[in-house]
Amino acid sequence: MAQLVGGLATSHIPAIGGAIHKGLQQDAYWKPFFDGFPPIRKWLGRVKPDVVVIFYNDHGLNFFLDKMPTFAVGAAERYDNADEGWGIPTLPPFKGEVDLSWHIINAVTEQDFDLVTCQEMLIDHACTLPLKLFWPGECPVSIVPICVNTVQFPLPSARRVYALGRAVGEAIQSWDSDKKVAVMASGGLSHQLDGERAGHINKDFDLKFIDSLLTNPEWATQFSIHDLVEKTGTQGVELLMWLGMRGALTSNSASVRKVHSNYHIPISNTATGLLALESAGPF
């Protein structure tokens, strides 16, 4: 069976794409953000996952309001990135892991989750940039993108996304393959782009949230979406992705070991978080 080796989580911001493109990683503004990554890359170089299952939210590249799925799973051989309208460079396509996609779709639907399946799916900066951050060279992993709606309310609850993550984690471990799989979250942490409250950041909550993923992973599932928007901002709710990632790890391991974490305010309007967790071993 496939082995679930651990989880990764990072914020995503379009401007990161521009910074990578221009080589600004050591620029004073960007350094505190990019310096979080080398220890995690070192760990990834050791555990060498073959496949990454990515929880992310689309920002109006693949999905528009005409059809807005709550949970959409990619099942494509290849995922293209495309122009998002901001002039950030378009990245080359990423390789899909179609067998695992369908295994997840089948197993998770069996657990009463109703999914949208996508044999064609454009992936935006939220999916591509984390891959670039963790593997700056040629991408050595194939992917299964899982898109969670954070655009149009009602959004799925924190509790529901955590449960989805758990079901995805169980599916990964029942996949008949000798491949190593990591789960990844792309989103958050606290930020708000719109309204008079634009620029809202909640450092206390973010730090408590990161800590909870180590010590008490279901802590944030107590909050409603309304609570999370109030505490973390309209786009801070993207922390749902981190709960999906963490839920997946819960399925194979009683505890996790922190590989590395980083937290920095601000990049663009966002409090940026970074975390890598290693599965501490099977029950």
Could you list the active site residues? Answer: 125, 191
Nearest Cα neighbor of 91 from 99, 103, 101, 83 is 83
Should residue 229 be labelled a site residue for other proteins when binding is judged by CB under 8 A? yes
Binding mask 189-228 for other proteins (x = CB under 8 A): ---xxxxxxxxxxxxx---------------------x--
Site for other proteins in 141-170 (CB under 8 A): 151-154
Binding mask 44-83 for other proteins (x = CB under 8 A): ---------------xxx--xxx---------------xx
Write the DSSP assignment of 182-245 as a string of letters. Answer: EEEEE--SS---SSTTTT---HHHHHHHHHHHHH-TTGGGGS-HHHHHHHH-TTGGGGHHHHHH
The rounded Cα 135 to chain-centroid distance in angstroms is: 15
Instruction: Check binding of 85 to other proteins (CB under 8 A).
Output: yes
Count, residues near other proteins per rule CB under 8 A: 41
Helix locations, the chain, DSSP H? 14-22, 31-34, 38-47, 98-110, 125-134, 158-173, 203-215, 225-232, 240-250
Our measurement of the distance from residue 154's CA atom to the centroid of its chain's CA atoms, rounded to an integer in Å, reads 20
Site string for other proteins, 86-125 (x = CB under 8 A): xx--------------------------------------
Binding residues for other proteins (CB under 8 A): 15, 59-61, 64-66, 82-87, 151-154, 192-204, 226, 229-230, 234-235, 264-266, 268-269, 271
